[in-house]
Amino acid sequence: MNITFDELRGIKHKLPTGSVARIASELGIDEQTVRNYFGANKFDQGDGTGKHLEPGPGGGVVSLQDTKILDVARKIISEQQN
């Protein structure tokens, strides 16, 4: 899946407090891996996120090989809006 970096960061900014921990818990991954997925670059902590960034408009295009983190984030945002 392709998404702009700005769109990915926008989703992260819509998440309520505690969402990084919730996503990590639900998926059984490290919290830093979730942060890295949304644009942090602390790869000495957490795991790789299977994403690739190509420079371009909107912060560039992020190619996501695995959308599980994004799917849970969108679910959390949807719950918050309902």
pLDDT beyond 90 at 26: yes
Q: Given this model, what pLDDT does residue 39 score?
A: 81
Provide mean pLDDT across the span 31-42.
84
Predicted structure pTM score? 0.82
Contacts for 1 with CB less than 8 Å, ≥ 6 apart: 63, 64, 67, 70
Q: Given this model, what pLDDT does residue 49 score?
A: 58
Please state the separation of Cα 74 from the chain's center in Å.
10
Range of the structural domain that residue 41 is part of:
2-81
Provide mean pLDDT across the span 51-65.
82
Q: Given this model, what pLDDT does residue 18 score?
A: 96
pLDDT beyond 60 at 48: no
Q: Given this model, what pLDDT does residue 44 score?
A: 60
Structure tokens at 40: 């942090």
Q: How many domains does the chain have?
A: 1
